[in-house]
Structures are given as structure tokens and as C-alpha cells.
Amino acid sequence: MVEKLDQIEELKKLDPKDMYSAVYNLPEQIERAAEVAYNAEIKNISDKIDKVLVLGMGGSAIGGDVLQSVLFKEAKFPVFVNRDYDLPNWVDESTLVFAVSYSGHTVETINSAKLSYSRGASVVAVTSGGVLKEFAQENNLTLVEIPSGMAPRAAIGYVTIPSFVILERLGLISSKKKDIEETVAYLRNKREEFKIEVPTEQNVAKKVAKMMFKHIPVIYAVEEKWKVAAYRWKCQINENSKYPAFYHFFPELNHNEIMAWEAIDNVIKPLTLIFLYTSLEGEMKIRVEFMQEKISARGVPVFLWQAEGNNPLTQFFSLTYLGDFATVYLAYLADKDPFSIGYINELKLRIGQALS
């Protein structure tokens, strides 16, 4: 019997807007994002920046989380992410604010961008158009205009890379050109292993999708700085696959969530666990092996995925690219369109917001 995930023509019928290709073409998207950001005209940015704030919601906000994680060991300034209509009180003329809205119509981001500007902050708009683009143009702000027409979550390259490039161009971080090149090369190589033409038996992305099918995935990041990778998996499972999913990170989860795994079988059996890690050494190795041992003994499927790459940017995308493919495949197994976001759009209409 032919595996469902190997029936390519049938799967295409489940994906009329071709989310699969958006995932497959991520390397080219990252290249284009860098090109656009390097060519953007920098306007009205203070030379006294001492903190960075990224504004965004949903798929547009995760670029801020990635910025924060990738610069964990490098930045000499704090990086914060704000998912709200309002702003922290400390935003001032020494704050560099990235207002990121793929559609340009995200109400929360537009509102907080205008507040940032009113407080004298240096605002950079990253968007494909809409109200945010108009706001940037009207106020002579730095605008990184990215291509439109994608689901925001599929535009992770477009909403992530420009912030790194602008910070580099301002002299606030080291050059990221080689890191971007390495990331693109890694993704191009890896997608040949994950692509739909590779049979399930040899395709780890399809195997992970099958492991998650009819289970509730729990994603653990083995380092706190990579909780953004676990969060990306969770959100992709939610939006692409229409599945519930949960995430946490080490070592914090060993002080609370570890006890949840002592629950009765009826609670534990529907779960499946995925560990994301860069390396397992010392105490962290003991923590992970202990949990793997205890949870596997309960009959819960466990999968470990290790980051690759010589820099944090590549490591992030190496942790998440598998999840991007696997969640599209999980949608196919569940007979779901990986592009559609019915409840999100229904809620936006009820609130009176523009659809993405």
C-alpha cells in the first residue's frame, strides 16, 4: 500500500494555495529579504541607540524572538519583543523600534508604532504595504518593503532577516552576510531530504508528521535561548496542521512541568514529545536523558532533533525547517489545508480588523 504522504497528486488537492512551495522556497526568500534590507534607505535613526524593541503579532512577531535569541551572546544592548497595542514606559528617543507587520494592517503593531514615534523613538517599518507603509512614508521613516502575497507565518525570512541587516548597517552588530549565506546553503541542502518527492521511508519530515498524527505534540527546547524554535514548531502545528501543541524549555521545565509526566496513562498516552537541542553535555545531558528515559517508559513517542551550523542564525533555522515541512505533512495526514486560518479570520471579522 502506498503511503498517504507519497501520493503527491492527491496531496496537492489539499493545498490549493501551495503552502508546501512557500516552505520549500525559504532559502530564496532569505536571500531576497537580505537584498531588500541592504538596499533600503536608512532615514531618521538616532546615533545614540541603547536598546531595541520589535513590535509584531503572530507570524510577524517571531522575527523579534529570533533576533533576541541569535544575538544572545553578541548584543551589547537589550532586545525586547512587544505583542500589544501599548508600549513599555521605557521606550524613548534612545530606542530603535522595528515595527514588523507583513500585511501592514496589523492594528496592534500600527498603534504601538505610532506611540513609539510620538515618544521620539527611531522607527523602522518592515512590511509589504498597507497602513504601516503609509505611516513610514508620511513620516520619512526607514522602510524595508518586502514582497506581498504570502501567509505571514510562511514569510519568516522576510520578517526576520531585515532587522539583522539594519542593525549591521548601523554598526550595532557584526556583519551577518556570511551567516545568511551559510543559512541559505544549509536550507537548500536540507530541503532535498525533506521534499515531498522523497518517500516516507527515507524522509524524516514525513516520519515526524506521522509520529504527531492523532497525538498532541509537546516541544522542548534544551536551552532557553532556543525556546523561540520550540515556539515556532508549536505555532506551525497550530496554524498549518490545525492541531493543539505545547512548548517549554530547559532547565526551567525541570522545576515545574516535569511533574506533569507523572499523570495517569489516559492523560499521557495522547502526547508525543520532541526535543530540540544544539548539544547535550554535562548536567543538561543528564536532564534530557532522565526525561527521555521516564517518558519513553510511559509509551510516549520521543524524537530528538539537533541543530546544525556554525552560527546562531543557521542553528535557529536548522531547528525549525524540519518543523515547517513536518507540519505541512501533518496537515495533509489530517486532511487539512495548511494555508487556511478559518478561526483567525472569523475573529478578525468580528473585531472589525482587516484580514491578512
pLDDT of the chain along its 356 residues, tens only?
668 999 999 999 999 999 999 999 999 999 999 999 999 999 999 999 999 999 999 888 999 999 999 999 999 999 999 999 999 999 999 999 999 999 999 999 999 999 999 999 999 999 999 999 999 999 999 999 999 989 889 999 999 999 999 999 999 999 999 999 999 999 999 999 999 999 999 999 999 999 999 999 999 999 999 999 999 999 999 999 999 999 999 999 999 999 999 999 999 999 999 999 999 999 999 999 999 999 999 999 999 999 999 999 999 999 999 999 999 999 999 999 999 888 888 888 888 876 66
Query: Do 169 and 203 belong to one domain?
Result: no
- The region, left, alpha or beta by phi > 0 then psi within -120 to 50, assigned to residue 36 is alpha
In the 8-state DSSP scheme, what is residue 352? T
Residue 160 is assigned to a structural domain of this protein? yes
Q: Where are the alpha helices (DSSP H) in the chain?
A: 8-13, 19-24, 26-39, 62-70, 107-118, 130-138, 156-169, 177-194, 204-212, 227-241, 265-268, 282-297, 312-333, 342-351
pLDDT of residue 53: 97
Residue ending a domain, choose from 140, 175, 210:
175
- Domain with 327 in it: 194-333
Please report where in the chains the cell 513536518 appears, as a residue: 326
**Could you tell me if 155 and 203 lie in one domain?**
no
In a domain, 139, yes or no: yes
Q: How far apart (Å, rounded) are the C-alpha atoms in residues 168 and 179?
A: 12
* Residues 27 and 128 grouped into a single domain: yes
What's residue 1's pLDDT?
60
* Whole-number pLDDT of residue 301: 96
Mutual angle of helices 312-333 and 227-241, in 10-degree steps: 20
Residue 207 sits in a domain whose CATH number is 3.40.50.10490
Instruction: Evaluate whether residue 315 is within a structural domain.
Output: yes
Looking at the structure, tell me whether residues 199 and 264 fall in a common domain: yes
Task: Note whether 226 and 156 are same-domain residues.
Answer: no
Same domain, 148 and 252: no
Burial (CB count <10 Å: 0-12, 13-18, 19+), residue 2: exposed
pLDDT given at position 341: 85
Say how many residues make up the chain. Answer: 356
DSSP type of residue 196 = T
Co-location of 239 and 168 in the same domain: no
Position 130 in a domain: yes
- 81 and 152 part of one domain: yes
Do 269 and 126 belong together in one domain? no
Active site residue 239: yes
Catalytic residue selected from 190, 239, 242, 248: 239
Residue 100 lies in a domain: yes
Active-site entry in 255, 269, 283, 293: 255
Residues 56 and 198 in one domain: no
Q: Per the domain annotation, does 3 fall within a domain?
A: no
The answer to whether residue 343 is domain-embedded is: no
- Residue 210 falls in the annotated catalytic set: no
Q: How many domains does the chain have?
A: 2
Same domain (yes/no): 245, 117: no
CA dihedral over 68, 70, 71, 72, signed as positive or negative: positive
Same domain, 31 and 69: yes
**182 counts as catalytic:** no
Which of 133, 148, 175 delimits the end of a domain? 175
Distance CA 299, CA 118 (A): 56
Burial of 287 (0-12, 13-18, 19+ CB in 10 A): middle
With vertex at residue 166, the alpha carbon angle to CA 161 and CA 170, rounded to the nearest 5 degrees, is: 150
